[in-house]
Chains A and B, each alone.
Chain A
C-alpha cells in the first residue's frame, strides 16, 4: 500500500508531523509508562482494524453506557431524592441495592462480551466479527496483538512485537511501522477466515 516505511527511515525525520491527514502522531511524555505505551499502540491498532473495513459493534458500548449511567442515576437519586433521611430509609436502601445490581450486571456483561478486548466489531466478510485485544507483560517490552473471531475462539491470529521498534527516543510513535504491522495481522486473519469458509462450503 506504500504506507509501510521501515522504522529506520522514519527515524531520520521525526520532527515532521503527520504525513497522514488529520490527527497528530502520538507523542508520549513518559516512555516508561507501560499503561500509556499499551494505550497508544491499542489506539492506533483500533484505527487500522476499522480502516480495513470492520465496523465497531456499538451495541456493546451502548449497553455498557446505559447500565453505567443508570447506576449513576441511582446514586443521584439516593443523594438528591425527595424526603429527608431517615424517613426515606427504604428509598435510599432501594437505590443502594439498584446500584449494586447494575454495577454487577455491567461488570458481568463487560467480562463476557468484551473480555480483554479493546475493540469488538460487527459481522464482516462472513465472519461474526472480531475481538481485538493485546497483552503486555508487566516488566517486559514485548507486546502481543491478538485478533479473535467472536463466534469461534479457535480462529485466532497473534503477532508479537518488541515495543522499542515502534517508538522514537523523543517520544513520537513510529506510526507507519506499527500500522503496517497491524495491517499484516488483519490481512492474515481475513485470509484464514476466507480459507475456513472455503473449507466449509465444500
Chain B
C-alpha cells in the first residue's frame, strides 16, 4: 500500500501543470458523465430521485431493507394503494410507504394524502412534521414502478461507514489521475 502511494506521488511530481490538468480533466469528465446519466434519468422520470434504496423494514414483506426502487412521477393522479416516495419538509431522507387515503378537491387543484407503511402498526401521522396531518402534491417524489432486490445494500454499507466511501473514491481518483493510457 505504501509503495502504491510513493509511486503515485512520484508520478504526479513528474507531470507538469498542463499534463496534470489534462488528467484532472479526464477524471472530472468521468464523474460528470455519471452525473449526467443520473440527470437524464431525472428528466425522463420527472422525479427528483429516480432511484432510491429502501432503508427500513416498514414495507415488508413487499420491500426489504437494501432493495432498490425505480420511481416515476407521471401526471396521473395519486390513488390509494399506490406505493409512493415522499420527502417531508426539512428532511433529506425520502420515505417509501403506501397511500391509504386521498382527499381531492373537485376541480383537482389540491390533494390530501395519508400514507402508512405496510409493516407499521399505525399510519404515518407519527412521522409527519408537528401539526401536519396530510401530505400534499409537492411532497410526493414519485411512484414505485419497479424494484431490484438487495442490490442497494452497498449504498447502505457506504452510508453506515462513510470512510469506506471516501477511501473508494480516493483510490479510484488516484488510479485515473496516474493512468497513462489516454
Tell me, yes or no, whether A95 is within 8 Å of chain B by CB.
Answer: yes
Further contacts, 4 of them, CB under 8 A, given A39-B181, A89-B43: A35-B180, A72-B28, A78-B35, A86-B73
**Distance between A178 CB and nearest chain B CB, rounded to angstroms:** 16
State whether B36 touches A75 (Cβ < 8 A): yes
Q: Which 8 A-B pairs have the closest CB atoms?
A: A39-B180, A75-B32, A68-B25, A72-B28, A35-B181, A85-B48, A72-B32, A75-B35
State whether A29 touches B3 (Cβ < 8 A): yes
Q: Which residues of B contact A (CB under 8 A)?
A: 3, 7, 10, 14, 18, 21-22, 25, 28-29, 31-33, 35-36, 39-40, 42-43, 46-48, 73, 179-181
Tell me, yes or no, whether A58 is within 8 Å of chain B by CB.
Answer: yes
Tell me, yes or no, whether A111 is within 8 Å of chain B by CB.
Answer: no
**What is the interface of chain B mostly: helix, strand, loop, or mixed?**
helix
Output the nearest chain B residue to A86 by Cβ-Cβ distance: B46
Tell me, yes or no, whether A159 is within 8 Å of chain B by CB.
Answer: no
Which of the residues A24, A35, A71, A84 comes within 8 Å of B10, measured between beta carbons? Answer: A24
**Sample (15) of A-B pairs whose CB atoms are under 8 Å apart:** A24-B10, A35-B179, A35-B180, A61-B18, A71-B29, A71-B32, A72-B32, A74-B32, A75-B31, A75-B35, A75-B36, A78-B36, A86-B48, A93-B43, A99-B32
Bound complex: CA of A39 vs CA of B180, how far in Å?
5
Q: Which residues of A contact B (CB under 8 A)?
A: 23-24, 29, 35-36, 38-40, 43, 58, 61, 64-65, 68-69, 71-72, 74-75, 78-79, 84-86, 89, 92-93, 95-96, 99-100, 103
State whether B7 touches A29 (Cβ < 8 A): yes
When distances are taken between beta carbons in the complex, the residues of chain A under 8 Å from B33 are: 103
State whether B180 touches A69 (Cβ < 8 A): no
State whether A69 touches B25 (Cβ < 8 A): yes
When distances are taken between beta carbons in the complex, the residues of chain A under 8 Å from B14 are: 23, 43
Which of the residues A36, A65, A100 comes within 8 Å of B22, measured between beta carbons? Answer: A65
State whether A65 touches B39 (Cβ < 8 A): no
Output the nearest chain A residue to B34 by Cβ-Cβ distance: A75
When distances are taken between beta carbons in the complex, the residues of chain B under 8 Å from A39 are: 180-181
State whether B35 touches A58 (Cβ < 8 A): no
When distances are taken between beta carbons in the complex, the residues of chain B under 8 Å from A95 are: 39
Bound complex: CA of A29 vs CA of B22, how far in Å?
24
Given known A-B contacts A35-B180, A96-B36, A72 and B29 have beta carbons under 8 A apart: yes
Query: Which interface residue of B21, B22, B29 has the most chain A CB atoms within 10 A?
Result: B29
State whether A78 touches B39 (Cβ < 8 A): yes
Which of the residues B3, B22, B28, B43 comes within 8 Å of A96, measured between beta carbons? Answer: B43
State whether A79 touches B18 (Cβ < 8 A): no
State whether B180 touches A92 (Cβ < 8 A): no
Given known A-B contacts A75-B36, A86-B46, A95-B39, A58 and B18 have beta carbons under 8 A apart: yes
Given known A-B contacts A23-B14, A65-B22, A96-B36, A85 and B28 have beta carbons under 8 A apart: no
When distances are taken between beta carbons in the complex, the residues of chain A under 8 Å from B48 are: 84-86
Bound complex: CA of A86 vs CA of B29, how far in Å?
25
**Distance between B62 CB and nearest chain A CB, rounded to angstroms:** 27
When distances are taken between beta carbons in the complex, the residues of chain B under 8 Å from A23 are: 14
State whether B29 touches A96 (Cβ < 8 A): no
When distances are taken between beta carbons in the complex, the residues of chain B under 8 Å from A89 are: 43, 46
When distances are taken between beta carbons in the complex, the residues of chain B under 8 Å from A103 are: 29, 33
